[in-house]
Each structure stands twice: as structure tokens, then as C-alpha cells.
Amino acid sequence: MAVIGQDIKQAIRLLEANEVIGLPTETVYGLAGNAFNAEAVTKIFEVKNRPTFDPLIVHTSSIERISDFVREIPEKAQLLAKKFMPGPLTLLLPKKENISDLVTSGLETVAVRIPNHPLALELLQNLDFPLAAPSANPFGYISPTSAQHVDNQLGTKIKYILDGGECKVGIESSIIGFIGDEIIVYRKGGLAIEVIEQVVGKIKIQEHSSSNPQAPGMLKSHYAPRTQLVILNSQFSTGGIPLINSQFSIGFLGFREFHPNIPRENQLILSPTGDFREAAKNLFAYMRALDVRGFEIIYTEILPEIDLGRAINDRIRRAATLEN
Ligand code: TXA
Ligand code: MG
């Protein structure tokens, strides 16, 4: 297993030796390596078992430092950066030569993010290169929101995980790109679309598709847990699950309320007060907690399509193997 600790010097030593480490951020934990170094970037893909057509996000510590590896920042991107960075926002910007095709999977844009986490920022400030970091989960599984999650899944493959506690946002960053005058959301994430639109006006939502090369990594089953996860229609979630057969062991991941027809000890509720932020923070941790219980099936439900509910629903839909 990896060493889990808060030793920034150790993290720096490993990163400078082109090793990869577990990195805390406010969204989810990352698997970080020197973005300017091919050996480190190659290791990231290997450890994660990630296909090389799926590009990485590059993390830095300040807006000024973005220009180290980005050619230009469009006006609207600057507005968003000033308002929301550091924060759960990733901007797609034209890359400089020092970002290799390996990082961007051959795209001309690089994904850029400033994580809003004190330990991550301190680390980045003390490095003279930015960090490429995808979420620190094996490809196809849900993202980790604690150092322990990272260790459980990648602990045999990496030496060190910087422990920054539980992630406060809990879902990945919102990814925004700029094509001409258009502003496009490629991934709904920890920054709500409504909040982004307050700053730059209407934005376009690019639907996810595994065949769309403009949004690589948006594979439909991207966030799947191991146990079969089934979305209930609201008619069922209010009226009880029809045909529940007691020979099945059933779990339930609910938004606000317990399901009346399932044993309470088999249920986790994302936010009893209906708070989207709390729900996002708990989402992946609760999916994991239910996943290891060995249920035959886990039922879940869709949240209202507003605010962070949209990003949460996106994760739930990807994780679900079929809709009921
Ligand atoms: O919150 C986050 O964004 C976390 C933390 C660790 O920062 N990172 C994260 O990385 O979620 P990852 O690799 O799991 O997801 C990055 C997504 C991928 O779906 C990838 O396809 C997309 O960003 N992406 C990266 N560069 C891109 C580009 N130039 N154009 C379009 N999509 C890009
Ligand atoms: Mg990921």
C-alpha cells in the first residue's frame, strides 16, 4: 500500500523524480505527475489504465502561471478565471509547445485548472512545473474523494498519497471550452451552470457521447460501481418499488428521503435537507459504501435538474446500468 501523509517535501521529491502521487483537491483526488515530463505523464496513463485518447487536466497555482503553458486566454475565459479560480472549474485553452500531445491526446487545447485546496496549492507553488492529474481512480470507476479511496484502488502502484482530508465539493470540475463566440460545457461539474451563466451569459451544453472526439473521456459508463445500479422513476420512488422480492438484497441511494420499502440499514441519503452541495460531497463516497455491501442491486433516484443536481444526475446516469 502507499504511504498516506501530509509531507509536502516528500511529495516534491517524488514529483521531481518523475514519479506520480495521489493529490488532494476540493473536487476529487488526482493522480499527479509533472505535466512537462513525458515519463511522468506516461506513468499516469499506465497507473490508471487509461486509454491515451483521453486527455489530462493540467493543474497550476495561479492565473499568472497559466500563461507558462497556454498561448492566449480569451476575454470570457479571463472573466471566468478571475471569478472562479481557484475552484471547481476547468478551462480548455490553446496550448503552448511545452505541453505534449500525450497530455492533450493530440488536441490543440489544454485543460487547465487551479484547485482550491490549501495543500494542493502549497505543493504547486513549490514546483517549477504544473501537474497533469486525472481523477485517481482506475479507468471506468467512480472518482476518489478521500486518500483512503485512492489507496484502496491504486495503492500498490504508487508510493505516496498526499492526504488533504475528504474532498469538499465531491464531484469533478466543470469543463468549459470556447469556440468562436460560443461557450460550451463539456462536463457538468462542481460549478453549477447557472452560476457560470451569471458571469458570461448563456452557455451551450455539449451532450456526452462516447463517439464524439470533441469530448473524449465522456464515455457513458465512466463512473460505474461494480454492483448493478438502477434508477427508479419518481412514480416508483414515491409509491414504493413494485415486484420487490425479499430474496434479493437491495440497497438504496436516495436524495432526501428513505425509501419506505427497503430496510433502512441498506440505505444512504445524500442530503436529508435537500442541499445539492451536501449531496455532491457525499455522492461518490456513498456509492462506494453501498457498492462494497454486496447487494444484488442498488436502486437510486434522479435529483431535480437544477443547480448541482444536473452534475449529480449526470454521474448517476453514467453509473446506472439500466433505467427502470
Ligand atoms: O475535478 C477534476 O477535474 C479532477 C481533479 C483531479 O482536478 N480531475 C479530473 O480529471 O476529473 P479526469 O482526467 O478524470 O477528467 C478530465 C476530463 C476527461 O474527460 C478529458 O477527456 C477531458 O477532461 N479533457 C481533458 N483535456 C481536454 C481537452 N483538451 N478537450 C476536451 N476535453 C478534455
Ligand atoms: Mg476521471
CATH of the domain at 75: 3.90.870.10
Whether residue 223 is contained in a domain is answered as no
pLDDT at 208: 60
Identity of the amino acid at 238: T
Distance 172 CA to ligand 1 centre (A): 8
Q: pLDDT tens for residues 302-318?
A: 999 999 999 999 999 99
Domain span including residue 27: 3-205
The torsion angle over the Cα atoms of residues 297, 155, 122 and 19, rounded to 10 degrees, is -130
Q: Are strands 57-59 and 131-132 parallel, antiparallel or unpaired?
A: antiparallel
Q: What is the pLDDT of residue 225?
A: 73
Q: Which atom of ligand 1 is closest in space to residue 216's alpha carbon?
A: 21
Q: Rounded CA gap, 207 and 185, in Å?
A: 9
Confirm whether 215 is domain-assigned.
no
How much distance in Å is there from the Cα of 56 to the middle of ligand 1?
Answer: 5
Same domain, 286 and 137: no
Instruction: Residue 243: give its domain's CATH number.
Output: 3.40.50.11030
Q: What is the CA radius of gyration of the chain?
A: 20
Q: Are residues 91 and 126 in the same domain?
A: yes
Predicted confidence at residue 216, as pLDDT, reads 45
Same domain, 183 and 235: no
Q: Whose CA is nearest to atom 3 of ligand 1?
A: 173
- Ion ligand 2: residues, Cβ under 5 Å: 135
As a whole number of angstroms, the distance between CA 13 and CA 229 comes to: 41
Q: How many domains is the chain built from?
A: 2
6 touches 117 (CB < 8 A): no
Q: By C-alpha distance, which of 287, 288, 292 is closest to 312?
A: 287
Q: Which residues line ligand 1 (CB under 6 A)?
A: 25, 27-28, 30, 54-57, 90, 92, 104, 107, 109-111, 113, 115, 133-135, 172-173, 175, 186, 215-218
Closest CA to 25 of 146, 188, 187: 146
Of 296, 322, 11, the C-alpha closest to 159 is 11
Tell me, yes or no, whether 198 and 287 share the same domain.
no
Does 121 share its domain with 270? no
Distance 31 CA to ligand 1 centre (A): 12
pLDDT in tens, 162-213: 999 999 999 999 999 999 999 999 999 999 999 999 999 999 999 764 434 4
**What's the pTM?**
0.93
Q: State the angle between helix axes of 118-125 and 8-16 in degrees (0 to 180), rounded to the nearest 10.
A: 50
Ligand lying closest to the C-alpha of residue 31: 1
> d(Cα 185, Cα 206) in Å, to the nearest integer?
6
Spell out the per-residue pLDDT of the chain, length 324, in tens: 999 999 999 999 999 999 999 999 999 999 999 999 999 999 999 999 999 999 999 999 999 999 999 999 999 999 999 999 999 999 999 999 999 999 999 999 999 999 999 999 999 999 999 999 999 999 888 999 999 999 999 999 999 999 999 999 999 999 999 999 999 999 999 999 999 999 999 999 997 644 344 444 455 455 567 899 999 975 444 445 555 555 679 999 999 999 999 999 999 999 999 999 999 999 999 999 999 999 999 999 999 999 999 999 999 999 996 554
Q: For a pocket test of ligand 1, which of 44, 135, 162, 179 has the largest count of ligand atoms closer than 8 A to its C-beta? A: 135
Q: Are residues 51 and 199 in the same domain?
A: yes
Q: Helix/strand/coil (H, E, C) string of 177-216?
A: EEECCEEEEEECCCCCHHHHHHHHCCCEECCCCCCCCCCC
Residue 214 lies inside a defined structural domain of this protein: no
CA of 235 to the centre of ligand 2 (A): 32
Question: 217 in a domain, yes or no?
Answer: no
Q: How far apart are CA 105 and CA 269, in angstroms?
A: 38
Q: Where are the beta strands (DSSP E) in 212-296?
A: 228-232, 250-254, 267-269
Q: What is the best residue among 41, 49, 57 to mutate for testing ligand 1's pocket, by most ligand atoms within 8 Å of CB?
A: 57
Same domain, 188 and 40: yes
Q: Which atom of ligand 1 is nearest to the CA of 107?
A: 29
Q: How far is the CA of 143 from the centre of ligand 2 (A)?
A: 6
Would you say 22 and 7 are in contact if contact means Cβ atoms under 8 Å apart? no
From the CA of 4, how far away is ligand 2's center (Å)? 21
Q: Say if CB 59 and CB 113 are below 8 A apart.
A: yes
In angstroms, the CA 113 to CA 124 distance is: 12
Ligand 2: centre distance to CA 31 (Å):
10
Cα-based distances in Å from 73 to 25, 29, 52, 186 = 23, 26, 26, 18
